[in-house]
Structure 1
Amino acid sequence: MTTLPDRPNTALLVIDVQNGVVAAAHDRDRVIANIDSLVAKARAEGVAVVWVQHSSDELKRDSDAWQYVPELVRQDSEPLVHKNYGDSFEATELEALLAERGVGRLVVTGAQTDGCIRSTMHGAFTRGYDVTLVGDAHTTEDFSAYGAPPPEQVIAHTNLYWQWQDAPGRRGGTVSTAEVAFTADDAG
């Protein structure tokens, strides 16, 4: 249903599943296992897998913390987008990569729920993409010391509000790993 013309394809986004980002993340191992199974499914179905990798003062490029977790292995043919902002589209080549592949629908996984995941989903949605969040394949660490709710509540709230997102010509949605379908006419 995307508003992007001639963009019938779907891509799986794997956002910031880096050592320093998920070291203390809520339910880390299960979330990474779910992402790994989605990557395998996307590859088996010929769906584009796009990897996103964040850099910042705290996450120095080429450091161990900056590296993707060892459980997830990117294939050389799969694009890697380097970013410096929460929204994976901001000042990156992500839009051009997706346009080349005819992608109008994104399936979103990764970290941090309350930062780069939300920013990227909203960025994609306002750019005309259909955006499906995989509810058990994103995570965040505990920021309750700074006044945030516990991570399980942040994740649950994000899953809840994203399942009802819609706008003219596009839609959001939240599904579980088991419910993900990479066909555009399926809500999951």
Structure 2
Amino acid sequence: MTTLHNRPHTALLVVDVQNGVVAGTYRRDDVVGIVGALVQRARHEGVPVIWVQHSDAQLVRGCDDWRIVPELVPGEAEPLVEKHHGDSFEDTPLESVLAGLGVGRLVVAGAETDACVRSTLHGAFVRGYDTTLVGDAHTTQDRTAWGAPPPEQVVAHTNLYWAHQTAPGRTAGTVEAKDVDFAALA
């Protein structure tokens, strides 16, 4: 249903699952394991896996915190998009990568829920992509000291509102990893 013409394919977009991003996050090990299982399923089913990696003054390119967590290893042929803003599309080649693969539908997982995942979901959706959030495959830090809700509530709220996101000619939704059906989304 995507508004992008001649884009029949689905891709798994893995956002910022980096050492310095997920260290100390809510359900870190569970989420990384779920993302890893999704990556394996996508590869097995021939679905492109696109990796996104943030860099900035705190996540300096090449440092250990910047690296993708050791439990997840991008394949040599899998695109890796470096970004400097929350939205993975902003000032990156992500759109060109997806266009080259004929992708009009994204399945999104990663970190952090209330920052780069949220920005990327909205960025994809307004650019015309059908966008599915994997509800148990994203995480965030505890920011209650700054007035934010606890991380489990941030995750739950994001899952709730994304499940009801609408716009003409596009679909959105939230599914658990066990319910991701790449073939049905293709």
Asked whether the two chains share a fold, i.e. TM above 0.5, the reply is: yes
Shift of 1:183: 2.6
CA distance in 1, matches of 2:173, 2:106: 11
SS in 1 for 2:99: helix
Q: Deviations over 1:132-173 (max 9, x none)?
A: 000000000101111100000000000000001111100110
The 1:11–1:185 alpha-carbon spacing in structure 2 relative to 1, beyond 3 Å, is: closer
CA distance in 2, matches of 1:185, 1:175: 12
What amino acid is aligned across from residue 159 of structure 1 in structure 2?
N
In structure 1, the partner of 2:146 is 146
Counterparts of residues 28-177 of structure 1 (less than 5 Å): 28-177=28-177
- Runs of 4+ in structure 1 displaced over 3 angstroms? none
What amino acid is aligned across from residue 135 of structure 1 in structure 2?
G
CA distance in 1, matches of 2:176, 2:103: 21
CA distance in 1, matches of 2:82, 2:183: 27
Q: Deviations over 1:99-131 (max 9, x none)?
A: 000000000000000000000000000000000
5+ residue gaps, structure 1:
none
CA distance in 1, matches of 2:75, 2:105: 21
Check the 8 A contact 1:9/1:184 in 2, yes or no.
Answer: no
CA distance in 1, matches of 2:139, 2:157: 12
- Alpha-carbon RMSD across the aligned residues, in angstroms, is 0.9
% of aligned pairs identical? 64
Shift of 1:57: 0.6
Check the 8 A contact 2:105/2:185 in 1, yes or no.
Answer: no
Check the 8 A contact 1:26/1:142 in 2, yes or no.
Answer: yes
CA distance in 1, matches of 2:185, 2:176: 17
SS in 1 for 2:12: strand
Shift of 1:184: 4.8
What amino acid is aligned across from residue 54 of structure 2 in structure 1?
H
What amino acid is aligned across from residue 154 of structure 1 in structure 2?
V
CA distance in 2, matches of 1:59, 1:77: 24
CA distance in 2, matches of 1:7, 1:98: 9
SS in 2 for 1:10: strand
Q: Deviations over 1:62-112 (max 9, x none)?
A: 000000000001011000000000000000000000000000000000000
CA distance in 2, matches of 1:153, 1:127: 28
CA distance in 2, matches of 1:146, 1:10: 37
Check the 8 A contact 2:130/2:172 in 1, yes or no.
Answer: yes
